Structure 1
């Protein structure tokens, strides 16, 4: 006789399958798409730039809503995610989107995004630093990326409307970001350059966004004399180090191909795009026109890789839907 027949009542219904959580690393989709949008804006291709901006903004809104829902429904999971470096993509993505909006003249929205980023950044940064492990993956460099994202957005807004205090705040964030890069580098597992799944490229991307912040500060009329010279030299040094990392990582990709799609591959696209934008921005700020052509070539490389990773994401989602 079955359990039901003995009077135990109907068997409980099977629990509905839980929808897979969106990983914090998904914020790199906004970072990658947004920075390539910035790049196309800098070379005058406003159509492609606007399309990418719309995509980046839409994904940012979706991710913001998703993570807010996680906070309300599953606070324990949200806190666990916030303790890991990928959580800082929330800050970096917000700053990249704000920077692109500022370049289009949408300063009020850019200022609002800066406020959001500044409000979230210290809590996430402290949480990540308290749980840092050694050796660390490439995502560890997000402590630098998020901080330099604040510097870039603040400096961009300062350049747009001449707000001096934002320019000074950007310098502080810039210096802190460089310091945090050194801390992340000391913990980075160098074997990741051959075995990483994509986020190892942030080792270069963190230097690229540092160079971009430096170029914005170099272009600012707030600084002159020795301070301006120091900022210009620091920018060129950071960009040169970024190029070195870029070359090493590209060679390692050839020696050890990793063609399979992984969400962390968006953290490969971001450094490619950020290197291009940093090169274009430094060309103008440091009066080095020869860098403009190089930056344009690097931008198209980044755009091509963005498309490949997008196709990988599409295939991954299609395969998941068939399961």
Structure 2
């Protein structure tokens, strides 16, 4: 994203803390899922480096968000109830859920994972009902083509991140919590899928029937694919957890069918998004410049790698493994480029 003229970027006050993007926890989401994907595929050293980096990033962002809420409450809560920026806050839910998953998968630290899971659940409840209630009762609302974007699907990602962390926690706890956590994971998985259908219908309508400028194709449109990828990951974990819960066993054909459905939908989006990216930067010459929203494009690449790996394992296909291995390195390259861009921007901002 570049230029202040883009409709996806709010007016800036010139104060870095006041202008802090509500979607900056996308950094935690992207780093965390690349770490998890690397661990799944046997790159433990890389996974742990990214894990410890992610802990530091998460703590820094928590402090910055708390300071922004204290120093600039009007901007902080105003962004939360604005159609263009409000959904960005769901990155805090998803980032917390991904970090909880890292603690459980990489370190087998169930206590830390459970604390972060509880925090993610609390954030999900507060943000979901605050943001969507505000969108409903507001008197002044933007038209569809100005109010909706791919960032709205972050609500789906946040919901499915809770499904994933709940399933991971259920696999590591005994009764009396295992059945309840699996039911919560299943419920979130189903609700996330329904929410995707609602939102994607509006986004696709906006694609096809309103004028679409290069500046409108913000990086969060990659969440079109990322939301389906994380839904695939959650479904795969539910399939693996089925022997622990009789009601999951009875739903196993349904779980398998819809998990493949989610994966196929996410896979369909990849060529489409690549073609739109070529149109944006190749034909329309829209320039590259670092923006926190680019983490919303890195995360889906890492999630596609992780979810395809787990799908191959859960469905016992045995022939998909080259695909997630390729996407791991694509995601890692995208993460490195975006991270370097972030550091350069911070350094330039500090010097100026």
TM-score (norm 1): 0.90
Contact 2:35 2:46 in 1 (8 A): yes
Residue correspondence of structure 1 range 218-233 to structure 2 within 5 A: 218-220=239-241, 221=243, 222=245, 225-233=249-257
With over 3 angstroms needed to count, the CA separation of the structure-2 counterparts of 1:91 and 1:66, relative to structure 1, is same
What is the Cα deviation at residue 67 of structure 1? 1.4
Mind listing any 5+ residue stretches in structure 2 that lack a counterpart?
Answer: 1-13, 136-141
**Is residue 209 of structure 1 aligned with residue 230 of structure 2?**
yes
Give CA deviations for 1:161-187 in whole Å, capped at 9, x if unaligned: 241210111000111101111122133
Structure 2 CA distance for aligned equivalents of residues 225 and 192 of structure 1? 47
Q: Find the partner of 1:125 among 128, 151, 161.
A: 128
Of the structure 1 ranges 285-294 and 88-97, higher mean CA displacement relative to structure 2 is found in: 285-294
**2:182 aligned residue:** 167
What is the Cα deviation at residue 18 of structure 1? 4.4
**1:181 aligned residue:** 196
Q: Aligned pairs, how many?
A: 307
**1:283 aligned residue:** 312
Q: Please say which structure displays the higher CA radius of gyration.
A: 1
Residue correspondence of structure 1 range 1-323 to structure 2 within 5 A: 18-21=15-18, 22-83=20-81, 84-104=86-106, 105-132=108-135, 134-135=144-145, 136-162=148-174, 163-188=178-203, 189-190=206-207, 191=212, 195-220=216-241, 221=243, 222=245, 225-257=249-281, 258=286, 259-323=288-352
Contact 1:197 1:262 in 2 (8 A): no
- Between 1 and 2, higher relative CO (CA 8 Å, sep ≥ 6) is seen in 2
What is the Cα deviation at residue 233 of structure 1? 1.0
Contact 1:192 1:200 in 2 (8 A): no
Structure 2 CA distance for aligned equivalents of residues 307 and 36 of structure 1? 11
What SS class does the counterpart of residue 26 from structure 1 fall into?
coil
Runs ≥4 in structure 1, deviation > 4 angstroms?
223-226
What is the Cα deviation at residue 224 of structure 1? 5.3
